[in-house]
Amino acid sequence: METFISSYGNAFLGGLLIGLSALFLLVFNGRIMGISGILGGILNSNSRAEVWRYFFFAGMLLGGVVLQLTLPNAFENTLERSDFLLVIAGVLVGWGTRLGSGCTSGHGICGFSRLSPRSLLATGTFMLLGFATVWFFRTWGLT
Amino acid sequence: MRQQLSALVCGLLFAMGLGVSGMTQPQKVIGFLDIFGAWDPSLLFVMVGGVLVYGLGYLWIKKVPKPLFAPQFLVPTSRHIDTRLLIGAALFGIGWGIAGFCPGPALASLVTLGRAPLIFGISMILTVLIFERIQNKKERVS
């Protein structure tokens, strides 16, 4: 029961932090905090001038290190997936988020909050396909 | 320089939020997406918390003429729904449901040098790199 409550509390607290970081990026830099967009910008030779994206990425890695030092189970991973499936999933997430102009942060938090019709539809779509995929993998026992 | 520093702090805060919330644990993400099975709805509250802060903040920002460190707000205004958006979101949902990683947690998890985040992350980064190359070529042609 205790872990049950704390897992809800932690999710909410983490959500507040995520919302706050996205809000700060908007208030200070006037930008939407979309991770797939930031990654795309870093990897696109035409947008080298947008230096803030490199700094955001560095901040994320720094945050990862802080997490490792302070919350060791933050990166616990007990999901069994073959290397092959991980590669396929990486391709789908990379291509899908760039084609669809956003992921869980840009569409799911920022666009959803602004009630952008594109983001509401994108969020509904990736959630539904996520539900269906997990159901499919569990039903067929795929790992 | 102020823009770079604020982006660094935002990235740090964002990764902390991901780690605290449980989004960096793929088995938790899969539990959240397993709505037809042993559903663990806790991660829904990540969205509740995030949308609460950002939604209320956005209402206030709408009255602010410009950001503190930049000349103007650059917020997408398109309301056009196309197949590109839907197919992209669908592909992303399938990949998310397979590995339990979305882009933010995958990138933050790279620092662990764990096998799964490295394989997923490198595959995702190379894919985005190819996507951007093709995109730039298309733009040059048109």
Nearest to A24 among B6, B89, B127 (CB): B6
CA distance A128 to A134: 10
The CA distance from B142 to the nearest CA of chain A, in Å, is 16
Nearest to B53 among A19, A32, A62 (CB): A19
Question: Do the Cβ atoms of B124 and A91 come within 8 Å?
Answer: yes
A82 touches chain B (CB under 8 A): no
For the stretch B23-81, pLDDT in tens is: 999 999 999 999 999 999 999 999 999 999 999 999 999 999 999 999 999 999 899 99
Q: Which of A2, A10, A17 to mutate to test the interface with B (most CBs of B within 10 A)?
A: A17
- pLDDT band of A5, cuts 50, 70, 90: low
Q: SS3 for A33?
A: coil
Instruction: Residue B124: list chain A partners with CB under 8 A.
Output: 90-91, 93-94
For the stretch B94-129, pLDDT in tens is: 999 999 999 999 999 999 999 999 999 999 999 999
By residue range, what is the domain housing residue A82? 2-139
A143 touches chain B (CB under 8 A): no
Question: Do the Cβ atoms of B2 and A28 come within 8 Å?
Answer: yes
pLDDT above 70: residue A4: no
A97-116: average pLDDT: 97
User: Domain total for chain A?
Assistant: 1
Q: Which of B5, B6, B8, B14 to mutate to test the interface with A (most CBs of A within 10 A)?
A: B14
For B55-81, letters b (16+ CB in 10 Å) and e give bebbeebeeeeebebbeebeebeeeee
pTM of the model: 0.96
CA distance A110 to A43: 22
For the stretch A33-80, pLDDT in tens is: 999 999 999 999 998 889 999 999 999 999 999 999 999 899 999 999
State the helix-helix crossing angle for A2-24 and B2-21, rounded to 10 degrees: 160
Taking the domains of chain B in order of start, what are their residue ranges?
Answer: 1-75, 80-142
Per-residue pLDDT at A19: 98
Nearest to B109 among A56, A64, A87 (CB): A64
Instruction: Residue A68: list chain B partners with CB under 8 A.
Output: 111-112
Provide the percentage of residues in chain A whose pLDDT is more than 90.
Answer: 90
Contact B85, A100 (CB under 8 A): yes
pLDDT above 80: residue A1: no
pLDDT above 80: residue A3: no
Tell me the average pLDDT of chain A.
95
pLDDT above 90: residue A143: no
Taking alpha carbons only, the member of A19, A32, A22 closest to residue B74 is A32
Per-residue pLDDT at A2: 56
CA distance B107 to A83: 17
Q: Where are the alpha helices (DSSP H) in chain A?
A: 2-24, 35-43, 52-70, 83-99, 112-113, 117-139
A37 touches chain B (CB under 8 A): no
CA distance B28 to B100: 8
pLDDT above 90: residue A25: yes
Nearest residue of chain A to residue B70 (CA atoms): A29
